[in-house]
């Protein structure tokens, strides 16, 4: 005959499994509308929830096999997703070097899996420590208080992790209106800016990101550099996004520092691919656009040519509105000294960590406490819009700095 306590405990792993799956599922659904987008969140969520469970029921030692199995399952599921997503997009005839780079990229999945498992072990050890502590508490009141304290602390930790994962993956859309002084009637001309993706996928086939852009209903899309990351270059992933962007609206691209740092073979592959995807590569070029009731000059500068005089050479000699696409925002003085009306820039990643009422902490090219990280900056007749961008490079996590799409209406 089973003891009542045992029957009660035996249900807990099942309940925990249901809770874990529900949170993972909800998280994935809210973020991307599918179940195969991110992989870090599962690996972080599971060990923390296991710890929470142990803190509530410290005698569950032998029953942790099910959460462990879930951890393995999540890791396996994500590995399958990686091969499924990228395997079908591999270019044919790639070199052994490229194959090796790609294998290292896949290796990251195993690394994250190992970190997740190690995290689980550490938290399990903490739970054991908690069990020992419980034994020392003799009065029922002390034991209850200890459980309450540990449960509160663990819940706060879990909520913090879930929040950080959410804010690193949930795209924020920022809307601005720019008064051209030339608008007479009709619908405002809408520009959507995408920047600093750094090979971040945002759902299988970038579905979540593409849906956000599509919902913004742009007249044109501008991609202001760092589509790929030179440290983990995935050209098929970047091209897949550009192709989908071009299907939504005419898309214009300028090079960021990460594309510029690619080996020539990869750089050419990427630029040719972007053009083949139907996007315009603006390598120190300009085009004339009709924006409804007025015309504008759209000028694209390569990253290395931002202040070397190239802009003066390609500036058009007419009275149209001048819109500049330039990856780095640090040269507002230079842009303002020319006849630029509106600049779209990125590069700063919002300062990576944003402190309320202070701003970003660090940005490439600007160092600590950067000046241009987020929003609108004005100098003379020039307005510069700086997007926080979508992805990360060297530092993989953002704090208080959600990935961003910028929408500007020209009126």
Least separation, in Å, of the C-beta of 299 and Fe ion? 20
Kindly tell me which of 196 and 374 has the beta carbon lying closer to Fe ion. 196
Q: Exactly one of 28, 41, 196, 205 binds Fe ion (CB under 5 A); which one?
A: 196
CB 403 → Fe ion: shortest distance, Å?
A: 12
Least separation in angstroms between CB 165 and Fe ion: 21
Q: Is 341 in the site for Fe ion (CB under 5 A)?
A: no
In the bound complex, what is the minimum distance in angstroms from residue 258's beta carbon to Fe ion?
A: 6
Q: Kindly tell me which of 24 and 326 has the beta carbon lying closer to Fe ion.
A: 326
370 DSSP assignment: -
Return the range that interacts with Fe ion (CB under 5 A); candidates 18-26, 61-69, 194-202, 216-224. 194-202
The window from 119-127, 188-196, 240-248, 396-404 that contacts Fe ion (CB under 5 A) reads 188-196
Size of the site for Fe ion (CB under 5 A): 2
**CB-based contact 364:347 (threshold 8 Å):** yes
Task: Compute the C-alpha angle 402/403/404, nearest 5°.
Answer: 110
- Least Å distance, CB 244 to Fe ion, is 21
Residues 39, 23: Cα–Cα separation, whole Å: 14
Comparing CA positions, the residue from 307, 313, 389 lying closest to residue 344 is: 389
Indicate the pairing of strand 321-325 with strand 251-253.
Answer: unpaired
Would you count residue 229 as binding Fe ion (CB under 5 A)?
A: no
Is residue 330 near Fe ion by the rule CB under 5 A?
no
- First-to-last CA distance in the chain? 78
- State which of residues 85, 205, 226, 330 lies at the interface with Fe ion (CB under 5 A): 226
229: closest CA among 349, 95, 332? 349
Q: Residues 326, 335: contact at Cβ < 8 Å? A: yes
We find the least distance from the C-beta atom of residue 371 to Fe ion, in angstroms, to be: 17
DSSP letters of 68-82? HHHHHHHHHHHHHHH
**Nearer Cβ to Fe ion (42/196):** 196
Going by C-alpha positions, the residue among 358, 361, 407 that lies closest to residue 387 is 407
- Tokens, residue 241: 């996004």
Binding residues (CB under 5 A) for Fe ion: these are 196, 226
């Amino acid at each position: 005959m089973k003891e009542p306590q045992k029957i009660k405990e035996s249900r807990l792993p099942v309940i925990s499994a249901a809770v874990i799956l529900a949170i993972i599922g909800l998280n994935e659904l809210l973020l991307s509308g599918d179940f195969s987008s991110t992989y870090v969140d599962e690996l972080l969520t599971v060990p923390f929830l296991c710890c929470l469970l142990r803190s509530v029921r410290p005698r569950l030692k032998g029953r942790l096999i099910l959460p462990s199995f879930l951890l393995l399952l999540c890791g396996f599921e994500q590995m399958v997703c990686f091969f499924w997503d990228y395997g079908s997009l591999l270019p044919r005839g790639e070199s052994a070097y490229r194959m090796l780079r790609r294998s290292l990229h896949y290796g990251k999945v195993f690394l994250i899996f190992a970190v997740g498992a190690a995290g689980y072990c550490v938290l399990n050890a903490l739970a054991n420590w908690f069990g020992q502590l419980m034994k020392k508490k003799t009065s029922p009141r002390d034991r209850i208080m200890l459980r309450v304290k540990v449960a509160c602390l663990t819940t706060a930790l879990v909520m913090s992790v879930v929040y950080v994962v959410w804010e690193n993956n949930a795209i924020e859309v920022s809307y601005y209106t720019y008064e051209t002084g030339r608008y007479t009637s009709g619908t405002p001309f809408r520009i959507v800016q995408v920047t600093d993706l750094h090979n971040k996928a945002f759902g299988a086939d970038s579905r979540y990101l593409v849906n956000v852009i599509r919902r913004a209903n742009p007249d044109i899309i501008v991609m202001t550099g760092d589509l790929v990351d030179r440290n983990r270059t995935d050209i098929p992933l970047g091209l897949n996004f550009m192709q989908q962007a071009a299907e939504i609206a005419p898309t214009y691209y300028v090079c960021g520092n990460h594309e510029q740092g690619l080996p020539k073979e990869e750089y050419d592959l990427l630029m040719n691919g972007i053009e083949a995807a139907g996007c315009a590569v603006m390598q120190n070029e300009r085009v004339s656009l009709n924006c409804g009731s007025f015309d504008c000059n759209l000028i694209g500068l390569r990253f290395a040519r931002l202040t070397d005089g190239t802009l003066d050479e390609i500036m058009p000699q007419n009275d149209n509105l001048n819109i500049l696409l330039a990856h780095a925002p640090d040269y507002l003085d230079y842009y303002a000294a020319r006849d630029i009306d509106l600049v779209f820039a990125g590069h700063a990643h919002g300062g990576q960590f944003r402190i309320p009422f202070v701003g970003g902490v660090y940005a490439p090219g600007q160092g600590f406490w950067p000046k241009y990280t987020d929003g609108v900056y004005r100098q003379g007749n020039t307005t510069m819009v700086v997007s926080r961008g979508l992805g990360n490079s060297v530092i993989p996590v953002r704090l208080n700095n959600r990935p961003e799409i910028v929408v500007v209406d020209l009126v």
